[in-house]
């Protein structure tokens, strides 16, 4: 039987299909509880440490809301300048300290691999809330939950990932998770921001069809889901390169008119200008519903890793 009890949540490719089904089913049950106005005490007596050493709105607030909705408590670092990381404390020492205060730890960190380092420092569950350009596994789970809610199933879909596919941890994790399903991909990016070759190779080794193109228009015509991403200023060493690439793709009404009928538009957010605001009124614009889905999915993860769901 699938279980996540005492597991760290570090990478999207750590899950098998049964574990993903368990997370989806648990999230659905919590969502129904919330819709029914149920007050939960699932995490009564548990404390979540929420350590965000990189900026966040959705991930931090939805994890903390999830814990509070489950009846647990939260301690938080929302700004690295207010933690002793600013005085040069190592991640190892921060985690060894925080494990004495909390029952489970959510970590966002600017360095790839930071969540694995944190997990090596403690037996308390670590949940990776984004490690640099590496992974964002809890985002990919809420993305999958959104796809299933919007489309009924992930199987049989053609999914376009567009934007900064080189540095985008959300797309790296989403690809890893969707490897468990029968999907086809379009990867739309400028040459400098293409999906890393090892990820494309992993897909082709699994027999998953991938079309790489610079043309968003070409991909839209064939896609059931468009997953737009931001060109991430913070990942560029050279600001001039960011300035050249920042407006590469903008979904506006003229482009949407050329898309497959009923296409679902997703975005992990924040957006800068890659989706025009007039698209927000389109029925298939799912990005704010997607952000809200972070609550039941993160409730499920928190409860499952401590064995309370
Ligand atoms: N999607 C996401 O990770 O958003 P935040 O950076 O606001 O947490």
Span from the CA of 230 to the centroid of ligand 1 (angstroms): 11
User: Are 85 and 107 within 8 A, CB to CB?
Assistant: no
126 DSSP β-pair partners: 105
Instruction: Let me know if 308 is a catalytic residue.
Output: no
The helix or strand, by DSSP H or E, that contains position 169, with its residue range, turns out to be: helix 169-178
- Which pairing describes strands 225-228 and 73-77: parallel, antiparallel, or unpaired? unpaired
Residue nearest to atom 4 of ligand 1 (CA): 58
- Whole-number Å distance between alpha carbons of 178 and 172: 10
Verify whether ligand 1 is closer than 6 Å to residue 269 (CB atom). yes
pLDDT tens, position by position, 231-256: 888 777 888 887 887 888 999 999 99
Question: What is the whole-number distance in angstroms between the Cα of residue 139 and the centre of ligand 1?
Answer: 8
What letter would DSSP give residue 182? Answer: -
pLDDT, position 279: 98
Is the shortest distance between the CB of 268 and ligand 1 below 6 Å? yes
Sheet holding 184-188, edge to edge: 210-213, 184-188, 158-162, 225-228, 264-266
pLDDT for 41 = 98
pLDDT of residue 118: 98
Token pair of 127, please? Answer: 């949940």
User: Which one of 139, 171, 233, 294 would you pick to mutate in the ligand 1 pocket, going by the greatest count of ligand atoms within 8 A of its CB?
Assistant: 139
Which pLDDT score, from 0 to 100, does residue 236 have?
A: 79
Catalytic residue among 58, 194, 246, 308: 58
Using the atom order of ligand 1, give the atom closest to the CA of residue 129.
3
> Residue with structure tokens 């999915």?
297
- Angle (CA) 93 62 40, round 5°: 105
Q: Please name the residues in contact with 84: beta carbons below 8 A apart, sequence gap of 6 or more.
A: 94
CA distance 195 to 30: 34
Query: 189 alpha carbon to ligand 1 midpoint, in Å?
Result: 21
Q: Which helix (H) or strand (E) holds 240?
A: helix 239-245
Give, to the nearest 10 degrees, the angle between helix 17-35 and helix 294-305. 120
For residue 56 and ligand 1, the question of a CB distance below 6 A is answered with yes
- Ligand 1 atom closest to the Cα of residue 291 is 1
Kindly give the parts of the chain with pLDDT less than 50: none
267 is known as an active-site residue: no
- 108 belongs to the catalytic site: yes
What pTM, to 2 d.p., does this model score? 0.96
* SS3 (DSSP) at 244: helix
Q: Is 109 a catalytic residue?
A: no
Note the pLDDT of residue 125: 98
Q: Is 87 a catalytic residue?
A: yes
Q: What is the pLDDT of residues 65-76, one digit of tens each?
A: 999 999 999 999
pLDDT at position 15 is 98
Q: Give me the pLDDT at residue 246, please.
A: 84
From ligand 1's centre to the CA of 135, what distance in Å?
A: 12
Residue with tokens 């969502």: 31
pLDDT for residue 78: 94
Cα–Cα distance measured from residue 135 to residue 199, given in angstroms and rounded to the nearest whole number: 13
Catalytic site residue from 11, 60, 69, 108: 108
């Amino acid at each position: 039987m699938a279980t996540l009890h005492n597991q760290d949540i570090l990478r999207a490719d750590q899950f098998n299909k049964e574990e993903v089904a368990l997370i989806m089913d648990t999230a659905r049950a919590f969502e129904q509880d919330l819709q029914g106005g149920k007050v939960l005490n699932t995490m009564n007596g548990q404390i979540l440490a929420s350590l965000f050493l990189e900026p966040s709105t959705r991930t931090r607030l939805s994890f903390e809301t999830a814990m509070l909705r489950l009846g647990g408590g939260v301690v938080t670092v929302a700004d690295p300048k207010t933690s002793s990381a600013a005085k040069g404390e190592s991640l190892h020492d921060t985690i060894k300290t925080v494990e004495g205060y909390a029952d489970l730890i959510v970590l966002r960190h600017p360095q790839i691999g930071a969540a694995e380092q944190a997990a090596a420092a403690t037996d308390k569950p670590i949940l990776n809330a984004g490690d640099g350009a590496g992974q964002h596994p809890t985002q990919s789970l809420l993305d999958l939950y959104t796809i299933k809610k919007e489309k009924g199933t992930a199987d049989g879909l053609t999914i376009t990932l567009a934007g900064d596919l080189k540095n985008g941890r959300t797309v790296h994790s989403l690809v890893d998770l969707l490897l468990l399903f029968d999907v086809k991909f379009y990867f739309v990016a400028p040459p400098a921001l293409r999906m890393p070759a090892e990820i494309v190779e992993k897909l082709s080794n699994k027999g998953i069809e991938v079309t790489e193109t610079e043309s968003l228009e070409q991909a839209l015509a064939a896609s059931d889901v468009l997953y737009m991403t931001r060109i991430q200023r913070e990942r560029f060493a050279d600001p001039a390169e960011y300035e050249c690439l920042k407006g590469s793709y903008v979904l506006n009404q003229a482009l949407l008119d050329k898309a497959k009928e009923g296409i679902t538009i997703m975005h992990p957010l924040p957006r800068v200008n890659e989706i025009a605001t007039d698209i927000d009124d389109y029925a298939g614009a799912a990005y704010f519903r997607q952000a809200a889905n972070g609550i039941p999915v993160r409730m499920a993860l928190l409860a499952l890793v401590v064995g309370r769901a």
